[in-house]
Amino acid sequence: MSVEKQVAAHYGRSGSEKPLLDALRAAGKDVDRLTTADLAPVDEFHLGWRAATVGFGKALAFPSGAHVLDIGSGIGGPARYLAETFGVTVTGIDLTPEYVALADALTRRVGLADRVAFREANALALPFDDASFDGAYTIHVAMNIADKAKLIAETRRVLKPGATFGIYDVMRVAVGDLPYPLPWALTGETSFVEPSAAYRQWLGAAGFTIVSERDRSAEVKEIVRANRERLEREGSSALGPHTLMGPGWAERSANAGKALQQGLIAPVEIIARAA
């Protein structure tokens, strides 16, 4: 089985609308009147969750009316947030057909289908013409892609000159064995975590200029601490990444936290501009 098929299968096992709607109902949400805030606990599959998306959106600073590409859009949380908050139009692509279908369904439920759409596609062969987009971003996706040079070159191809490209990814900051399973991979066979210096090299080779780089570890650790305290006070919730990822999520999430605390990985944000 190819890496792409393994990655799609890793996520696609949980890509169903019914259990998510059941969990939302259990949490007291009206599934016929959902908002993006209602979905935030379950549609943000990255370190820092919605808070990280908020900060990333500010750093991207896409102008209202821009058409931007979400590479590896999952079930669409960041795309919906950016469209609603900044007035952009978002096209999301993802390898996992179940996630594409669920992303579209949730987007219709929150009334954003006129501004956000999703399609099944491979980030290494984007199905778009040259210079199609005003901006692009990817959130916790490149860890599953070995050929990041091609990913970045393909992104540059579909961007207009001067467009902003943002990467928020888990990156390697020290040598050491990662404790699998992790949220993005059960084994090292589909995990390709690289240092930020390599990203800078690939971006430069593809024709991007680095605007800013930020290690967001401290912010994420504080969010994790606050979430842990809330869990101790209030108990577990029906809503969270486990809602879709299943009972194995607790171990994967704990291992990611362990690697973060040990200084093996860091959530790093890079903002670049196309020449």
3-state DSSP call for residue 235? Answer: coil
Closest of 106, 109, 102, 107 to residue 90, by C-alpha: 107
* Model confidence pLDDT, tens digit, residues 141-193: 999 999 999 999 999 999 999 999 999 999 999 999 999 999 999 999 999 99
Helix and strand element counts for the chain (H, E): 11, 7
Q: Give the pLDDT band (50/70/90) at residue 62.
A: very high
Q: How far apart are CA 224 and CA 238, in angstroms?
A: 18
* Model confidence pLDDT, tens digit, residues 64-79: 999 999 999 999 999 9
Of 24-28, 71-75, 265-269, the range with the lowest mean pLDDT is 24-28
Q: What's the rounded mean pLDDT across residues 99-121?
A: 96
Share of the chain above pLDDT 70, in %: 93
Q: Give the pLDDT band (50/70/90) at residue 6.
A: low
Give yes or no for a contact between 76 and 116, defined as CB atoms under 8 angstroms apart. Answer: yes
What integer pLDDT is reported at residue 250 of this predicted model?
84
Fold (topology level) of 3-274: Rossmann fold (3.40.50)
Q: What's the rounded mean pLDDT across residues 216-244?
A: 80
Q: How far apart are CA 130 and CA 231, in angstroms?
A: 47
Q: What's the rounded mean pLDDT across residues 67-93?
A: 97
Q: In the block, which residue shows the tokens 């860890």?
A: 143
What integer pLDDT is reported at residue 8 of this predicted model?
53
What integer pLDDT is reported at residue 9 of this predicted model?
57
What integer pLDDT is reported at residue 238 of this predicted model?
67
Boundaries of every domain in the chain: 3-274
Amino acid making up residue 141:
V
What integer pLDDT is reported at residue 13 of this predicted model?
53
pTM of the model: 0.92
